[in-house]
Chains A and B, each alone.
Chain A
Amino acid sequence: MKKETGSLFVTRRRLLVTGAAALAAPAILPRSAFSQQAKTIKIGGAVPLSGPVAYWGHSTAQGFIDGAAVINEAGGVMIGGEPHMLEVISYDTKGEVADSRAATMRLVEQDQCKYVFSQAAASNVGMLQVTEPAGVLSIVACWGYLDLFGKDYPLHFRAEMSDYEQGFAYIPFMQEKYGKDALKTAAFIGPNDQDGTDCHFSYKRLMDYYGITQKAAEFYNWEDTDFYPIVAKTIADRPDFIVTSPSPPGITASIIKAARELGYTGPISSPAASETKTILEVAGEHADGVILPVTNVEPSTDTQKAIEKRFMERFGSFNALAGNYSWWIYSLKAAWEAAGTAEDTRKVAEALAAVELEDTYVGKVKWAGKNSFGVDRQGVYDCFTTTIDKGVAKVEDVRFPALPADY
């Protein structure tokens, strides 16, 4: 079999390069970034760089490392007519709450970071215990723990669209693709933890909004090895389509494989599984009919191609997830420049909520959710939806989520 060299593959080289780069970003940033003349804005990363969710952590850190290098090379962030260089410092949270708390303490107290990014629920929970009381602005990807996005955390921004926001793009797309009458009922399969519970809550709201009846909701244990039993139970209710949120790619692929083998032919949408290579490898011929929102497998604009090229040169590989996270730092840059300060994080937070970017890897970006969260703190952007047909993954739809008026 020919070795696939697709953009979604995490190589040993990539992992080592990203890890080393994340831990020693100063070494790869331009010398000017640390010169005596320019002021420096330190951005801290409390991200999983090892452990089961390290892939997400590396993808997030890469966006900041690359963005900081690009911004520094272009002269830095201009605040009050004065250039400020960016320095990215990342510590490994191992995907654990306690390690994330310790990493964030180090970033805030030792490194004096006023801006911290994080990734995934456990790291996010640990980070917030430190950042919010310290007046540090945080920017994260985390779908569960919905209470963390309430009014108690005014400096907390969720840059990644959760399955809820994605739904306002991919459900209309699916209704157009298959017809509304073909999608009257749905079933949910997710993990039996806080993320799964919260994603099920979001999914239910989404289905209610579109008038789709929920047929089944099944929760698996992370210890489960075979998904035949849970899938058999789910499809016994004959849902028109299945949502596997927020299951990671490997589990999603196993669910898809089991569903197809057991005779289920309906669409399966997977808002969290943005690795087509894994799905194709694991599910093989059974992967047809899979819908993957926010997964851009075909970078096509000049900006997308440039980001892919830079990532390949800097890290040795590129994946769609890293592309999705690459705009966060540019949003912060716009906020610093609009607020005229990097010291006053509350001013920056106000400015950040109003930032809109037109041309990023994920297309148009803005912050929304004021009615839901008290602040426009939820990143919303063009949703690139990839589908798999006859073993080939391709982008079939791009649209900005049509969020409800009261969102």
Chain B
Amino acid sequence: MSDFLQMGLTGVSLGLMYALIAIGLTLIFGVMRIIQYAHGEMFMLGAFVLYYWHAEMGLPYWAGVAVSAVVIFGLGAVLQMVLFKPLHGKNILYSLAVSLGLVLIISGSGQLIFGTTTKGIPSAVSGGVLLGGAYLSYERMVISAVSIALIVALWLFLRRSVTGLAIRAVAEDPDTAALQGIRTGRIHWIAFGLGSAMAAIAGCMMGTLLSIVPTMGFLATIKAFMIVIMGGLGSVVGALVGGMILGMIDSVVTTTISGDIALILSFVVIFLILVFRPSGLFGQNWD
């Protein structure tokens, strides 16, 4: 019984972290209709900002998470205005090429600037608690809580705030939104910055739990894409559900069978979803 509880707790915490990475990506696609392959690099840079702030300079952990989010928000906004804005309305392949170039530039520069050794970010909390025979570390509890809080905050922001409603309007129909007086250019950089900041916070959380290297962004991007395709491009709820599915598969199948089978099963589930729901679980038809 405790084994299954352990698998469940691990799956939930993993799923929430996955969702946090994926939500930024789905937000950017939903608003701008671009595939941001360098999303994982924002995740990596976010983790390194926290590393230098907290591990190297010894400054407070949570302030570092906030600084990381702000810095990467700014970087994302600048990238959108300088690189992606001129490509708006053009074939998606242009933005794809730009974001792939960004992946190489940022990860390559990261190795030169940050070095190639793996680094660790000291955790803000330590210890844990036994729940029905299953162990749950306070670190994972905090990370899960932060993930939930951010996802809920984003959901509320998109539904209750003026800017959030404008983001949804632009995502739904940019031309009509513009006719209503919404400055779509402004919404684009806000959404890009916000999505990047979400990735940065996810990088901080996962970097603390695991370890960080300049090449860590690639895997994060792969996971994020798997989740976003599963949940549906542009859907925040889809990213959450997709993250949970992937997290549970990773936890339960790896523990009971093997990691190889978990990876295969993850893709089988994605294929099945795409066969029966080509736009993903909660996605729209973007054709």
Is the beta-carbon distance between A9 and B255 smaller than 8 angstroms?
no
Partner of B120, one of A50, A232, A281: A281
* Chain A 198-234 interface 0/1 with B at a Cβ cutoff of 8 Å (1 = within): 0000000000000000000011111111101110110
Is the beta-carbon distance between B219 and A223 smaller than 8 angstroms?
yes
With an 8 A cutoff between CB atoms, is B74 at the interface? no
Chain B residues within 8 Å of A228, by CB: 10, 14, 251
With an 8 A cutoff between CB atoms, is B284 at the interface? no
Is the beta-carbon distance between A221 and B259 smaller than 8 angstroms?
yes
**Which residues of A, 225-258, contact B by the 8 Å Cβ criterion?**
225-226, 228-230, 232-233, 236, 248-251, 253-254
With an 8 A cutoff between CB atoms, is A16 at the interface? yes
Is the beta-carbon distance between A250 and B118 smaller than 8 angstroms?
yes
Is the beta-carbon distance between B112 and A12 smaller than 8 angstroms?
yes
The distance in angstroms between the C-alpha atoms of A52 and B121, with both chains bound, is 19
Is the beta-carbon distance between B260 and A221 smaller than 8 angstroms?
yes
The distance in angstroms between the C-alpha atoms of A150 and B15, with both chains bound, is 46
* Chain A 51-91 interface 0/1 with B at a Cβ cutoff of 8 Å (1 = within): 11111001000000000000000000000000000000000
Chain A residues within 8 Å of B17, by CB: 226
The distance in angstroms between the C-alpha atoms of A230 and B256, with both chains bound, is 9
With an 8 A cutoff between CB atoms, is B206 at the interface? yes
Partner of B10, one of A220, A232, A249: A232
Contact (A278, B251) CB under 8 Å given A15-B111, A221-B263, A225-B206? no
Shortest Cβ gap from B145 to chain A (Å): 17
Is the beta-carbon distance between A52 and B250 smaller than 8 angstroms?
no
Contact (A1, B115) CB under 8 Å given A223-B222, A278-B120, A284-B123? no
Shortest Cβ gap from B16 to chain A (Å): 12
How many B residues touch the partner, as a band? 35 or more
Is the beta-carbon distance between B215 and A51 smaller than 8 angstroms?
yes
Is the beta-carbon distance between B112 and A229 smaller than 8 angstroms?
no
With an 8 A cutoff between CB atoms, is B55 at the interface? yes
With an 8 A cutoff between CB atoms, is A404 at the interface? no
**Which residues of B, 106-137, contact A by the 8 Å Cβ criterion?**
108, 111-123, 126, 128, 135, 137
Chain B residues within 8 Å of A12, by CB: 112-115
Q: Which 6 A-B pairs have the closest CB atoms?
A: A250-B118, A281-B120, A282-B120, A1-B58, A229-B254, A10-B115
Other A-B pairs, 6, CB within 8 Å; known A10-B117, A50-B108? A15-B115, A218-B259, A228-B251, A249-B117, A284-B120, A284-B123
Contact (A10, B251) CB under 8 Å given A223-B263, A254-B210? no
Contact (A9, B211) CB under 8 Å given A221-B260, A284-B123, A285-B126? no
Name A56's closest neighbour in chain B (CB-CB): B116
Is the beta-carbon distance between B122 and A284 smaller than 8 angstroms?
yes
Is the beta-carbon distance between A55 and B135 smaller than 8 angstroms?
no
Is the beta-carbon distance between B213 and A11 smaller than 8 angstroms?
no
